[in-house]
Amino acid sequence: MNRKLLYVMMIIALILSACGGGGAGKPSVVRIGWSNGPDTLNPGLAWLAESYTIYELIYDSMYDLNLDGSFQLTVADSVSVSDDGMTYTYKIKQGIKWHDGQPFTAKDIAFSYTLYKNRDDFPTLHSYTEHFVSSVAPDDTTLVLKLDQAIPNIESRLVFLYILPEHIWKAYTDNAAEFENLEMIGSGPFKMKEYKPNEFIDLSTNVDYQSGRAKVDEVIFQVFSSPDVLVQAIKTGQVDMITELPNTSVEALKTAENVKVAVGAPFAPNISDIILNQVDPANCPPEADGGVCSGHPALRDKQVRLALAYATDKEKLIDVVLIGYGTPGIALIPDGMGEWFNSSIKDFEFDTAKANQLLDDAGYKDANGDGIRDMPDGSRPLTFRLNWPTSSIVAPRMAELLGEMWKEIGITLEPQAIEDDALTSKCCPALDYDLMLWGWVADPDPATLLIIPATDQIVTGYNETGYSNPRYDELNVQQGTELDHAKRVQMVWEMQKIVHDDVVYIIPFNYKQIQAYRTDRFTGWLDGETKLALEDVTSLMVIEPVK
């Protein structure tokens, strides 16, 4: 009897599924290939960019970040700021629903901000609540956020503070770091359908999304463990888009049928740098804090740093290391950051003769005739240790090229890769190195990059060069509180100019993001903007199936 019933049910189910498939039209499923899945679905704990990509799709935050770097309100209709700049009052939209049908109110927002503020074991999101005093919701459509000082970049602080449903998270306020959040109830344009760690994430479109639904029905992110496999996956059409491909595969993929390669600035500001240890012994962190300060004294001389800058052929580095997919690096703020990037700086031109002249004039002669210049007092040769983290793919080739370029000006290098954490402990705040090849990935707001060369960051370990300049420090504090946008931009520009002119860093290049998509499946990918992030919600909301 039971078995019969089961058969009947199975047949009904089969008929139903057949009807469903035929009647409603095939759902449009976007398949995206990437080489890493999110590290965690709990927004408080994530490190990887892949995690944030998923959060952007499933959650709302107060602001959305556009591809041009501007922000727009998402769940609020309007915002008013008090005269002292310390109280923000948001009018929250009505009628928004969580994915489980519960109403979304200002109370959820207040709860989320308070949670981020209280969880100091949330590695990155907690830091955005630095100036928050309180966030309260006097009613369901009003959120009042109070700060301890006026700050110019509230948008970039709120953009990653994803709003969490209080009715789910309130049970975890004391141990939020242990909550795996596999259901991922959010209010964003996509809903969690299925998650298999390190295999795939399947998201379905939230048809009730407050500002209109996406045109596709489903988005699947699938992990492929090597970039070569990603390239093969898009060639054979098993995925519709890949978020990254090795620079070496670009040419091969350009000739593939129905595949378009897109190139643009990376979504998250990403800088690559040659780090010059120039710490003044007076600024060396105390021994108890780990200060060693063994840097080569010549690097404290600006003339030597200038000579290194003039002797660096950035075009060649880009051609060889990045196979042409990069732009020459100029400032601490990469050129993909729009108005924040100081486009007026004129870079040091590649000129070996000039570099040699600078060193000659400053007294760095080759005293013993071994082909290597020596300190003016003859005490030691200009031989610099050059280190980089073992995880870096580009650094070994760069080290080789820099060795050749700087040999032309009588400077030799002792190149050595060091395991990342070991290098961190040599680097900062120990300052136990001469030169390093490394980089930073930063926030949409320039403040996180600009803080790095500040004097008070030497002891915390972020000021990796040991650079110290009172004028820079002053500007750094000012830009952090300047509410007039135009004035702040001006300060940010001046700071970049100072870092460039003092050769605090040599920025060899800015990376380009390279992605590829199938032209025979979906149209409307946003590949013409300054920044390129086809996996971002901006593209996924607008693409539609090819007819």
Q: Which of the residues 459 through 488 are near another protein (CB under 8 A)?
A: 460-462
| Non-local CB neighbours of 456 within 8 Å, separated by 6+ positions | 473
Shortest distance in whole angstroms from residue 28 CB to another protein: 12
Q: Which residue, 41 or 150, is less far from another protein as judged by CB?
A: 41
The residue count for binding another protein (CB under 8 A) is 61
Say how far apart CA 389 and CA 421 lie, in whole Å.
8
Q: Among 102, 141, 352, 424, which residue interacts with another protein (rule: CB under 8 A)?
A: 424
Which listed residue (147, 168, 223, 318) binds another protein by CB under 8 A?
Answer: 223
Q: Is 228 in the site for another protein (CB under 8 A)?
A: yes
Instruction: Give the Å distances, CA to CA, from 534 to 223, 271, 440, 538.
Output: 16, 20, 22, 8
Q: How far is the CB of 238 from another protein (least distance, A)?
A: 5
Matching residue, tokens 């479109």: 205
Q: Does 490 bind another protein (CB under 8 A)?
A: no
Residue closer to another protein by CB (options 177, 345) is 177
> Would you say 34 or 90 has its CB closer to another protein?
34
Q: Which is nearer to another protein, 36 or 490 (CB)?
A: 36
60, 64, 66, 67 alpha-carbon torsion, rounded to 10°: -50
Question: Residue 200 or 325: which CB sits closer to another protein?
Answer: 200
Of 445, 515, 526, which Cα lies nearest the Cα of 67? 526
For residue 40, give the nearest of 181, 201, 185, 186 by alpha carbon.
181
- The window from 307-315, 404-412, 454-462, 477-485 that contacts another protein (CB under 8 A) reads 454-462
218 binds another protein (CB under 8 A): yes
Q: Work out whether 428 is an interface residue with another protein (CB under 8 A).
A: yes
517 DSSP 8-state letter: E
| CB closer to another protein out of 229 and 483 | 229
What single letter denotes the amino acid at residue 103?
Answer: P
Q: Which stretch, 226-234, 260-268, 307-315, 507-515, contacts another protein (CB under 8 A)?
A: 226-234
Q: Judged by CB under 8 A, which stretch of 395-403, 458-466, 514-522, 528-536 contacts another protein? A: 458-466
Q: Give me the least distance between CB of 235 and another protein, in Å please.
A: 8
Nearer to another protein, 218 or 366 (CB): 218
Nearer to another protein, 391 or 523 (CB): 391
Which residues, other chains included, contact 336 with Cβ-Cβ below 8 Å and sequence gap of 6+? 264, 265, 266, 269, 270, 510, 530, 531
For another protein, which stretch binds (CB under 8 A), given 62-70, 206-214, 345-353, 457-465? Answer: 457-465
Nearest approach in angstroms of CB 406 to another protein is 26
CA dist 386 and 427 (Å) reads 12
Residue 233 as a binder of another protein (CB under 8 A): the answer is: yes
d(CA 292, CA 425): 11
Query: Of 280-319, which residues contact another protein (CB under 8 A)?
Result: none
Per-residue interface string for the shown chain with another protein, residues 193-212, x marking contact by CB under 8 A:
xx-xxxxxxx----------
Q: Give 282's contacts (C-beta < 8 A, 6+ positions apart).
A: none
d(CA 339, CA 487): 12
Determine the Cα angle at 447 with ends 443 and 448, to 5°: 50
Residues 363 and 211: their CA atoms lie apart, in Å, by: 66
- CA–CA gap between residue 482 and residue 461 (Å, rounded): 26
225 lines the binding site for another protein (CB under 8 A): yes
Binding to another protein in span 429-448, by CB under 8 A: 440, 443, 448
Stretch that binds another protein, among 57-65, 93-101, 134-142, 449-457 (CB under 8 A): 449-457
H helix intervals, 416-502: 420-427, 447-450, 470-479, 485-501
- Cβ-Cβ contacts under 8 Å for 414 (sequence gap 6 or more): 383, 384, 385, 386
CB of residue 380 to another protein, shortest distance in Å = 29
Q: Give the separation between CA 406 and CA 403, rounded to whole angstroms.
A: 5
The neighbouring-strand residues paired with 46 are: none
List the alpha helices (DSSP H) in 226-287.
227-235, 250-254
d(CA 6, CA 23): 25
Please report, as residue ranges, which positions from 368 to 407 form the binding site for another protein (by CB under 8 A). Answer: 389, 391
Q: Can you name the residues that pair with 505 across neighbouring β-strands?
A: 275
Instruction: Give, as ranges, the residues between 72 and 131 that touch another protein (CB under 8 A).
Output: 120-124, 126-128
> Minimum distance from CB of 527 to another protein (Å)?
24
As given in the structure block, the two tokens for residue 488 are: 């702040």
252-280 b/e with 16+ CB inside 10 Å = b?
Answer: ebeebeebebbebbbbebbbbbbbbbbbe
Q: Which stretch binds another protein (CB under 8 A): 143-151, 205-213, 373-381, 416-424?
A: 416-424
| Interface pick for another protein out of 12, 16, 229, 353 (rule CB under 8 A) | 229
**Residues forming a β-bridge with 73:** 63
Which parts of 236-255 interact with another protein (CB under 8 A)? 236, 238
Q: Which range touches another protein (CB under 8 A), out of 223-231, 472-480, 491-499, 521-529?
A: 223-231
Q: Which amino acid makes up residue 409? A: I
Tallying the residues shown for the chain, one arrives at 547
Which residues does residue 387 pair with via DSSP β-bridges, in sequence order? 416, 436
Query: Which stretch in 172-180, 254-262, 332-340, 362-370 sits in contact with another protein by CB under 8 A?
Result: 172-180
List beta partners, residue 438. 273
| 420 lies in the site for another protein, by CB under 8 A | yes
Contact mark string toward another protein, 13..52, x via CB under 8 A = -x--x-----------x-x-------xx-x--x-x-----
- What is the binding site for another protein (CB under 8 A)? 14, 17, 29, 31, 39-40, 42, 45, 47, 120-124, 126-128, 177-178, 180, 193-194, 196-202, 218, 220, 222-226, 228-229, 232-233, 236, 238, 389, 391, 419-422, 424-425, 427-428, 440, 443, 448, 451-452, 457, 460-462
